[in-house]
Amino acid sequence: MNSTTVRNLLVRGMLAGLAAGVLALVIAYWLGEPSVDGAIGFEEAHAAHSHGGEEAELVSRSLQSTAGLATGMLVYGVAFGGIAALAYCFALGRAGRFGPRATALLLSGCALLAVYVVPYLKYPATPPAVGNPDTIGKRTTLYFLMILLSVLLATGATVLGKRLAPRIGTYYATLAGVLGFVVVTGIAFAVLPVVNDVPEHFPATLLWRFRLSALAIQVTLWSGFGLIFGELAQRLLQPKPAAVPAAPAVPAGR
């Protein structure tokens, strides 16, 4: 793949990431912000009860939930789209006999699973202002360690499947790769420490809604990117041939 094609795909990836960020922003504002407000209200109520007052906000909550949220989601979408486009350039043609559109969807789905869903199952999202500030460093380290392990295991499962395919066939090689990924991931889940910093009396329904909204935001971002970028990549790499005008009819007798 030449540098011009890579550059064009990179630009399209960033545009697709921006569009996917807009979609994720709608979900974040509609589903995520009410849960965040509830979590902050819970924390403020307990802080006021314990200390007899409230601390002044450096940035207003209304600004955080509008301009701050939009800026964060859109910048993240553009950066995410650029990185995903570069990964797509590497994966195209190496992931099997898939076209540009199917490769984008496959890459997005696998990346969503390895980068977000698997680490999320071990260390699910915690509402802001709720977790123990003394353990934030430990929690962050464990979460990124789980992401690294998940990506490495997914890569290893892919390599294992490709090496076994000539011997036992694509179907059984895929099953072996998936089974190996599940087994080793389960071992990692059992070995890594459990983190539970949610206060004892925190509403379970609010926690459940927050975690569902966090998952919905990421699913929207990754799936939206896969669909939009796949269409843009398809038009770039496999453009439709221009229609050839029909020749004028020759009158009979000439």
pLDDT above 70 (res 84): yes
Q: Model confidence at 57, in pLDDT bands (50, 70, 90)?
A: low
Q: Model confidence at 176, in pLDDT bands (50, 70, 90)?
A: very high
Give tens-digit pLDDT for 152-167: 999 999 889 889 988 8
CB-based contact 71:79 (threshold 8 Å): no
pLDDT of residue 244: 56
CB-based contact 192:142 (threshold 8 Å): yes
Q: Report if residue 179 sits inside a domain.
A: no
Q: Report if residue 208 sits inside a domain.
A: yes
DSSP-based three-state secondary structure for 145: helix
Q: Report if residue 217 sits inside a domain.
A: yes
Mean pLDDT for the stretch of residues 221-231: 94
pLDDT above 70 (res 58): no
| Rg, C-alpha atoms of the chain | 24
Q: Report if residue 142 sits inside a domain.
A: no
How distant, in Å, are the alpha carbons of 24, 36, 94, 226 from that of 209? Answer: 16, 10, 39, 26
Give tens-digit pLDDT for 125-141: 887 766 667 778 888 89
Instruction: Round to whole Å and give the CA distance between 180 and 164.
Output: 12
Q: Report if residue 154 sits inside a domain.
A: no
pLDDT of residue 112: 93
Mean pLDDT for the stretch of residues 35-56: 65
Segments in the chain forming alpha helices (H): 3-27, 33-51, 61-63, 69-91, 100-111, 118-122, 136-168, 170-191, 204-237
Instruction: Round to whole Å and give the CA distance between 20 and 137.
Output: 30
Mean pLDDT for the stretch of residues 98-102: 86
Q: Report if residue 243 sits inside a domain.
A: no
Q: Model confidence at 218, in pLDDT bands (50, 70, 90)?
A: very high
Instruction: Round to whole Å and give the CA distance between 148 and 1.
Output: 28
Nearest residue to 96 (alpha-carbon basis) of 29, 37, 177 = 177
Q: Report if residue 96 sits inside a domain.
A: yes
Cα angle 55, 58, 63; round to 5: 120
Domain that holds residue 81: 3-49+63-131+198-237
Number of domains the chain contains: 1
